[in-house]
Each structure stands twice: as C-alpha cells, then as structure tokens.
Amino acid sequence: MAEIAEGGGGGHGKGKKRAKKSSTRVDMTPMVDLAFLLLTFFVLTSTFSKPKMLPLAYPAKTEDKTLKGPKMNNGITFLLSENKIFYYQGEYYFKGHAAADGSITELKEVDFGPGEKGVRKLLGKLNNYVLVKKQGLDEKLKRKEINDSTYLSTLEKLRGEKEALKVLIKTDEKALCKNFIDLVDELKIAEIGVIAPVDITPGELQLMKEKLKN
Amino acid sequence: MPKIKIPKSSPSIDMTPMVDLAFLLVTFFMLAASFRASEPVTVNTPSSISDKFIPENVIMVTIDHDGRVFFNLSGEEARREMLTNMLGKYKMKLSDEQIGKFTFMSTFGCTMQELPSYIDTGADDRITFQTKGIQVDSTTNNELYNWINFANVAALNTGKTAFEEAKLNGENPKADDFKPKFILRVDSKTVYKKAEDVINVFRELNLNNLNFITSSELAPIN
C-alpha cells in the first residue's frame, strides 16, 4: 500500500537542493511489543499476598505421665476428623467415670462455616465474656483513652482470665492440616487465649468413630 | 465547482500515552515483584486472618501433601555451621564446593545418605529427585531432630552477633527479635498426624512456640 505523504507539501521548484527531511517520528511498535511482553510476564508471575504466619504455642512435653492437665472449668474440647468437627464442653465423662448427675459425654457436631450451625457462632456465644469486654476496649482505643500497648496488654490479660473460654484440640488420624488451621483461625477470631492441641484418648476416638458412622 | 474535501487523517495512531502506561505498569510490577528461590516442593498453604509477617531469622520445616519433610534455615553463615555440625555427627565428608552449594540452597529434603547426590543435582531437577524427605519417625535415628537442634544453635549464634552489631550501632534492639522463629509450612491437604510428628520433634527439643505459614484472608467484620 502506498504511504500517505505527510508534511512536506510545499518546497518544490526553484531547484534548490535540500537535504531530505527524515521524519522525526520513530517507529515505536517493537518497543511497545517489548513493553507489553514484559508487562504480561510480570503480571502473570507476581504474587501479591505475602504469606503470613499464625503463631501457636504447644504445651511443653513432660516425661511425667502421671501429671494431669489443669481441671477444665470453662473449657471446650474440639475433636477433628477429615472436614468434620465435633465438640463437647467441660470434662470428659465416660462409663465408670460419669458426671455428678450420671450423664456421660456426648459429642455434638458443628461445621466450619460462619452460619447458624457454624463453629464461629458457637464460639461467639461461649466466649461472649471476652468478646463483650474487648468491644469496650476497642471503643476506648478509638476514643484514644488508652494507647496501643495498654490495649494489647489488657487484651492479653483478658484472654487469660478465668471466665474466658479455654480450648483443647484433638485430632484423629484422618484430620487434614487445613481443618486444623481453620479451627485455630476461628479460635483466634473468637479471641481465645488458651489453645492447646493435645493427644486424643482412645475413648474419645471411639466416640468420634461412632458419630462418624451415622 | 469546489469539492468537499475530507481531511486526510494519518493512519498511524499516536501511541505515546499507551506506551507511557505500559512502561508505568512494567515498572510497577517489576518493583512490586519479589523473586522467590526455587523450591523443591509446591505447597498450598491454608489461609488465616493472621497478619504477622515472617521475620528474617527462621527455621522452617515444610511438609508436603504426601507427608514428606523438607527443611530450611535462613542465613548462609548459619547454614554452614549447621552443616558442619551435622556432617560431624554423621561422620560424613563433603567437598568445599558441595558445602558452598549447600549454603546457597533454599529448602532441601533428603536423608543424610542422599545428601551428596542431592546437592549435586541441579536446582531445577531437585523437584524430581526421588526421596522420602528428611527422616522423622525412627526414634534411634531422627535426622530432623538433629537438623533442628544444630540449626537452632547456629541461628542463635548468628542472631547474637547481629544483636551485638545492632547494639554497637546505637540502636535499641530487643534480644527476642534476633532469636530464630520456628515455622511450619504445611499443605492444606497434609494429614495433620504427619505435621504432629514434626511438631513432636520440636517439642522434644523444648521448642514449643511454633508458627504456621498461612496465606492471608480477610477478617470477618462484626
């Protein structure tokens, strides 16, 4: 195709020799190609969200097998299996070691969702004491009545109080890491300070197996 | 008769703004991108609302979805020290070149026996290196236990020097910031029991404060 002449309209005639005017425009197409190539490369290869870490303190290992854990007054135990989550409140009672009213522990099921049957609702209800107090603290912080470090230390203390919920996590051999982290995450959302992943007892395992069957 | 002239428009479009934009974006992505060292395993971490960044001085254990265990320690000095201790413990010898290669490696996962051939394998071929990862289970020969133990000693040493240096520079450092953090990188689909085996090794060493790597997720608004 013929190129359309640009500019140089006049200037004919009179026979004066002039140096040919070369266009001041540079063909930018290759550069643009390259720029977009690089752009595509970086867009596709870059990952934005930097990984974060979720701290979790495990109970120290003791050789002393006779040592019993602290009595759980305000505790809940979660039992994890593959994508399933069961819980019971308080101490574990079984036949031969029943509660004062003769009842034994029964497992209840919740799911990982935020819905009505979800673990978040349950924890929100049970750890209401801490959550309500935390809201008060949040407002104080907003009104600048307390500074950041006092806020954090008060919150830390609040989480460890007697009325705050304490959580034990036990897993069977089928539970996935995702399930575990999801649960710990929910516990952090519910501002639970004491989280202890511990070994499951054969009795609890049996109870969970029966529950999984139906 | 005068003809109506249609103004001739040039068929070439001015590309300058587009090029400007393209280069702006290229620059942005180039600066924002951080390059990761090639890892021998791909791990899809679970997500959590945690917003804690991963510090510099870390001892990281990776567990892939088959339960294979990989290990990583940050810092070249510390890695060298750890490897020397480890070779002494297992009465093995590596050439200086191999030791040098090891200090620049990122995550690795192999038994002590496989270590020389693992180091000699190219970085890209380590993905296909046939290994069961670092041995955890056998109580008599728990290689992970030794790795973590020596890594901890080495990381504490380098942390101490960094701490002293910061002190000399007139900063007001906290000693805890220079201590190594213990990090577990688990795949979502890893069975938790496998992770627990590794956690128990940490606990045997009395290292109870662990961290899980997670990708971030939005906290619920209440």
A116's enclosing H/E stretch is: none
Indicate the number of domains in chain A.
1
- Residue A2 placed within a domain: no
Within 8 A by CB and 6+ apart from B212, the residues are A53, A54, A56, A181, A184, B45, B46, B48, B183, B184, B185, B186
Where is pLDDT greater, at B14 or A192?
A192
- Which residue among B18, B188, B200 sits closest to A176, beta carbon to beta carbon? B188
- Residue A205 placed within a domain: yes
pTM for the model stands at 0.77
Number of CB pairs < 8 Å for A and B? 158
CA-based R_g, chain A, Å? 33
Residues B72-82 pLDDT 10s: 888 888 888 89
CB-based contact, A182 to chain B, within 8 Å: yes
- Residue A159 placed within a domain: no
Low-confidence ranges of chain B (pLDDT < 50): none
- Residue A66 placed within a domain: no
- Residue B142 placed within a domain: yes
- Residue B40 placed within a domain: no
- Which residue among B19, B49, B183 sits closest to A32, beta carbon to beta carbon? B19
Cα–Cα dist A176/B188, whole Å: 7
B98 is in which domain, residue-wise? 47-216
- Residue B182 placed within a domain: yes
CB B190 within 8 A of CB B67: yes
- Residue B68 placed within a domain: yes
| Structure-token match 């587009």, residue found | B18
Is residue A9 scored above 50 in pLDDT? no
Q: Do A56 and B210 touch (CB under 8 A)?
A: yes
CB-based contact, B19 to chain A, within 8 Å: yes
CATH code (residue A81): 3.30.420
What does the DSSP assignment read for A161-180?
STTS-EEEEEE-TT-BHHHH
Please list every residue in chain B whose beta carbon sits closer than 8 Å to the beta carbon of residue A189.
49, 219-220
- Residue B83 placed within a domain: yes
Is residue A137 scored above 80 in pLDDT? yes
A116 is in which domain, residue-wise? 75-127+165-213
Q: Distance, in angstroms, between A205 CA and closest chain B CA?
A: 14
Cα–Cα dist A12/A7, whole Å: 13
Cα–Cα dist B208/B211, whole Å: 10
DSSP for residue B107: S
Please list every residue in chain B whose beta carbon sits closer than 8 Å to the beta carbon of residue A182.
46, 48
- Residue A198 placed within a domain: yes
Indicate the number of domains in chain B.
1
With vertex at residue B155, the alpha carbon angle to CA B152 and CA B158, rounded to the nearest 5 degrees, is 150
Cα–Cα dist B139/B158, whole Å: 29
CB-based contact, A55 to chain B, within 8 Å: yes
| Helix B76-89, helix B96-104: angle, nearest 10 | 130
Q: Do B52 and A184 touch (CB under 8 A)?
A: no
- Residue A188 placed within a domain: yes
pLDDT of residue A167: 87
Is residue A1 scored above 50 in pLDDT? no
Residues B154-190 pLDDT 10s: 989 888 888 888 888 877 778 788 888 899 999 988 8
Within 8 A by CB and 6+ apart from A78, the residues are A85, A86, A87, A119, A167, A168, A169, A170, A183
CB-based contact, A178 to chain B, within 8 Å: yes
